[in-house]
Amino acid sequence: MFRYGLLLIAVFFAASGAYGLPPVKFGSRYSLVETIRMLESSETTNSVGYSIQGELSLEYLHKNLILAHIDPVKLHITSRKVPMPDEFVPHTSKLDDMENSPFLIQVEEGVVRKVHISKSELPQMVNLKKGIAGLFQFQTETTTATETDVSGECKVKYTAESDRIYKEKTGCKWPDMHSRASDELWGNKITSSRKTLISLGDQKIVDTVEAIDEHTTRSSLSSFANVGVTASLRLKVLDPEVNKNRLSIANMMTVSQNIKAELGVEFVEFLLEPETVTPDTNIKKFADVVDQFSKSLQSSELGTTKSAWALVKSVRSIKN
């Protein structure tokens, strides 16, 4: 009888380990703010940019599968014309009418394996959701790793404390990246910083996640051409209670198929990787543009509208 009791306890704990949630969990509702700011080197204030704001609801369907939904989602803007510099104001945009279905985040041992997004959603919404999914990719112990997300393949350093986790990405590499050629051509140097802070509340519930990417482009042509861009993505808990009402012990594939049938949405599976940019076939090759605008690119035309237009055409052609 005693051995039988021990066996039941062992089975119970084995089941808990197999089907229980990870030690660090997300609550059921978070505020969401994605912000992009651009600041010229000659400026110290009055950055321009935009912000996407909304609420993110989360539900654990399986220990490795989270159902997520952003609602509402709204574009906010700031510019030098806004009465309060660095303040964002709501702005009507195409985002208001875009399809925005629930999506699935598949996380295993702190690594986002796949993101399941509605087939009919536009690339802008897909990229936003892939960026959000990237916030769920982190380790809970001090370690180093090589990971792939929307920043590319990066070397990652984790520093874990009792109530917070620091994540820093370096050496990120994008596949099929064209910027290196343009950097060499125009003499630009790009420096980047990619850091994330995960703050934990009671019972290891995630309180905030804030990822900040800072990029500075420095030109050897002129210091006035230097530009800094800061991109941040932040979640702040609104309801720390974990939603596990439909948590299942079935295998993840079955759970995934069931929820997709229930939602009536056709999903596409995405890996957590940089977006693929399709070259614009309407943009001419660099050599053709230089030939066409050779007179406008002469030093004598510097500062004229013709010279500026030729420069824009040239830069666009490099990416093609």
- Mean pLDDT for the stretch of residues 202-226: 82
Structure confidence at residue 66 (pLDDT): 98
Cβ contacts of 224-229, under 8 Å, gap ≥ 24: 224/40, 224/41, 224/42, 226/40, 226/41, 226/42, 227/38, 227/39, 227/40, 227/41, 228/38, 228/39, 228/40, 228/41, 229/36, 229/37, 229/38, 229/39
- Mean pLDDT for the stretch of residues 100-127: 96
User: Which residue is listed with tokens 């237009």?
Assistant: 309
CB-based contact 130:150 (threshold 8 Å): yes
- H helices of the chain, in order, are 2-19, 123-134, 179-186, 252-263, 286-292, 305-318
- pLDDT tens-place string over residues 262-280: 999 999 999 998 875 544 4
CB-based contact 147:153 (threshold 8 Å): yes
Query: Sign of torsion, CA 149 151 153 157?
Result: negative
Q: Inform me whether the pLDDT recorded for 28 exceeds 70.
A: yes
- Rounded to 10°, the helix 305-318/179-186 angle is 140
Structure confidence at residue 316 (pLDDT): 46
CA 254/CA 189 separation, integer angstroms: 49
- Measured CA to CA in angstroms, residue 61 lies from 24, 64, 97, 195 at distances of 16, 8, 28, 29
CA 48/CA 286 separation, integer angstroms: 30
Displacement of CA 165 from its chain's centroid (Å): 18
Q: Which of 57, 17, 52, 7 is nearest to 239 (CA)?
A: 57
Residue 6, burial from CB neighbour count under 10 angstroms (0-12, 13-18, 19+): exposed
Q: Which pLDDT band, with edges at 50, 70 and 90, does 89 fall under? A: confident
Higher-scoring residue by pLDDT: 196, 221: 196
Structure confidence at residue 16 (pLDDT): 39
User: Which residue is listed with tokens 């066996």?
Assistant: 7
Q: Inform me whether the pLDDT recorded for 19 exceeds 50.
A: yes
**Residues in the chain, overall count:** 320
Torsion (CA) 192, 226, 280, 98 in degrees, nearest 10: 70
Give the domain ranges of the chain. 23-277, 279-320
Q: Inform me whether the pLDDT recorded for 173 exceeds 60.
A: yes
Q: Which pLDDT band, with edges at 50, 70 and 90, does 82 fall under? A: low
Q: Inform me whether the pLDDT recorded for 120 exceeds 90.
A: yes
CATH number of 23-277: 2.30.230.10
Q: Which residues contact 213 (CB under 8 A, 6 or more apart)?
A: 151, 192, 193, 194, 230, 231, 232
Q: Which of 257, 234, 233, 267 is nearest to 103 (CA)?
A: 267
Q: What percent of the chain has pLDDT over 90?
A: 55
User: Which residue is listed with tokens 């510097």?
Assistant: 302
Q: Inform me whether the pLDDT recorded for 55 exceeds 80.
A: yes
- Looking at the chain, the number of H-run helices and the number of E-run strands are 6, 14
Structure confidence at residue 47 (pLDDT): 66
